[in-house]
A and B are shown apart, each in its own frame.
Chain A
Amino acid sequence: MKKILFCLVFSLFSVQVFATNLHDDGARYDDGARWAFISDKNSTSVAVVDTFEYKHVDNLQLKAIPVQMAVSDVQDILVYIDGKTTNIYIYDLVKNTHSTMVLKSVPTDMIFHSDGAQLAVASQNRIDIIQPLQGKFGDVIDDLNSPFSMNFDNGGYNLYATEAQTGKTLIYRTHDGKQQFVQMGQGKVSAITLSPDARLALVSQYQSNSVYIWDLFMEEHFATVTMTDKPWRPYVSSDSEHIIVIANDGKGAVINAWSGEEVRQLQLPVKPTSIRTGWLESIGIIESATNLAIFDLGNDKPILNVPLIKPLLELVVVSDSKTLFATQQGSSDLMVFDIRSQQSKAPINTGLTHPNLLVMGITNTVCH
């Protein structure tokens, strides 16, 4: 990917460039569809895995143990936070150099804009819009209360931030900073989910055990799906066709995102822990501590339960929609699952003692 180098702009905040050259062999990890970066829970090592060749190729050394990481495929940087300091750490995947940006308070969450240049960073009651490659600070949003979730919409036109305690949702227009608010559900809610076509916004409502769906195009309530237990954060397939809802008791449904009609019911034997879709968005995958539940999104065929050797930590479905990678509790191995054949492949040893976070530059399959 081509990188655009911007002039370094110094702001009121400090930018420290260590210029530590960690790799003299000229290794470049600038292909967002290829490289997966896996952190270690107890060390600053990050394993680099080649998802094209299914092998561990390198280890990067970070400046801190990350509690969250993100990759910009456009600017070829890995950014991370440590949950303790006010630093945003920036690792240049082409130059193999480190820099940091210092915020006013400890960052808790971050998400890249689709331009790969802007990063929204959450901290206590505040969002900073920064440009990590340039080391540049931009807008500050402080009219909301932590904890809150963040999500950019289709093409990055708006940033959505939803307060977890109230459902109050800020819609921040990125090009001019205009702010408006919409109420997403009542009481405590999950992190917000936006359909990739930016038509629907969804949250789980914990007081009423339901999923609240707002139509952003019509600017009105679309549906409320009542669940039988505490609902998991809802998921929308990347083609924006199917909504997947599931509750802690394992009961859920696949819902057509256009008609609002139920396509199929789901009944899992165990509590879910994450939702994904893949293989050209025909297959749903719900993770639990002991199983991967694999099912067709468009029909009622029986659910295939794939037993897990270890509980999973983080899952990524790569950009061809055919392969799922996951870190596993208490294992150095990266799990590899072929969604198309619905079979596990040989795991990849990461060389890490406790693999934890897993990020890639490109995982989506829709061009905006």
Chain B
Amino acid sequence: MRLLSCFTAITILLAGVSSAIATPLSFFLEEQHLGSVTEKNWPGKYLLIGIGYTSCPDICPTTVMDLSSAVAGLGAKADKIVPIFISVDPNRDSVKNIDLYVKYFSPNMVGLVGNITQTTDVVKTLSATYGYSLEGKPVYPPLPSQYEVYHSAYIYLYGPDRQLIDVFGYGLGGDKISQKIATYLKIESL
């Protein structure tokens, strides 16, 4: 087997990691109003997390809407959940832009962005994947002026202990996600 040499560091940065199902959530990112944040912010809260980027034409707005409506659907229990959207395109998404973007969908939505290493780290902890392509082929930082972004389209629910509770597939919809979260909250309150 041939080992890649000059691209190894970059590719490891961008590679998703699949064996981290049991890995507790961990990140170090930036938020417009809070500054640097980690998974330890929002103590006692559940975190409902999606990843994407602000110039995404289709999937990401749907994901953010699902995050928003899933939490809104919980009614009085909505304050137990913090909806978070994390950018996987830090080259184009500033902390200000991601905040503006998510606030269009919900004033309670949290938008996070980091540098490429921090982005890779959080994607790894989510067992997700992301990367960039141009003309059907992958491209790596430093990125060209034009490129496309691909990324996992899951929505993740983490508990107050930052352990993964459940994962929801793209297309499930906010109502269904809300119902499932309500079940978990009910179990917790028993």
Contact = CB atoms under 8 A, between A and B. Distances in A.
A346 interface: no
Contacts of A319: 153, 169-172
Contact of A241 (B7, B16, B136): B16
Nearest to A32: B171
A163 interface: no
B130 to A, nearest CB: 9
A239 B2 contact: no
Contacts of A328: none
Interface string B109-141: 000000000000000000111010101111000
A156 B133 CA distance: 11
Interface residues on A, range: 35 or more
Contact of A298 (B2, B18, B128, B129): B18
Given A157-B136, A239-B16, A241-B15, A197 B169 contact: no
Contacts of A52: 172, 176
A218 B15 CA distance: 17
Contacts of B167: 280, 320-322
Contacts of B17: 239, 241, 298
A259 B152 contact: no
B9 to A, nearest CB: 11
A260 B2 contact: yes
B103 interface: no
A366 B129 contact: yes
Q: Which of A158, A198, A277 has the most CB of B within 10 A?
A: A198
Contacts of A196: 129, 150
A82 interface: no
Contacts of B21: 279-280, 282
B129 A239 contact: yes
B151 interface: yes
B168 interface: yes
Given A154-B133, A241-B15, A321-B167, A367 B152 contact: yes
A365 B127 CA distance: 12
B8 interface: yes
A353 B170 CA distance: 32
A92 B56 CA distance: 28
B11 interface: yes
Contact of A260 (B3, B20, B137): B3
Interface of A: 31-34, 52, 73, 153-158, 173, 196-199, 216-218, 222-223, 237-242, 255, 257-262, 277, 279-282, 296-299, 318-322, 362, 365-368
Q: Which 6 A-B pairs have the closest CB atoms?
A: A298-B19, A33-B171, A157-B136, A320-B169, A319-B169, A260-B1
Interface of B: 1-4, 7-8, 11-12, 15-21, 52, 56, 58-60, 127-129, 131, 133, 135-138, 148, 150-154, 167-172, 176
14 contacts: A155-B133, A156-B136, A216-B137, A217-B137, A223-B2, A237-B18, A239-B18, A239-B127, A260-B3, A262-B1, A280-B21, A298-B17, A367-B170, A368-B133
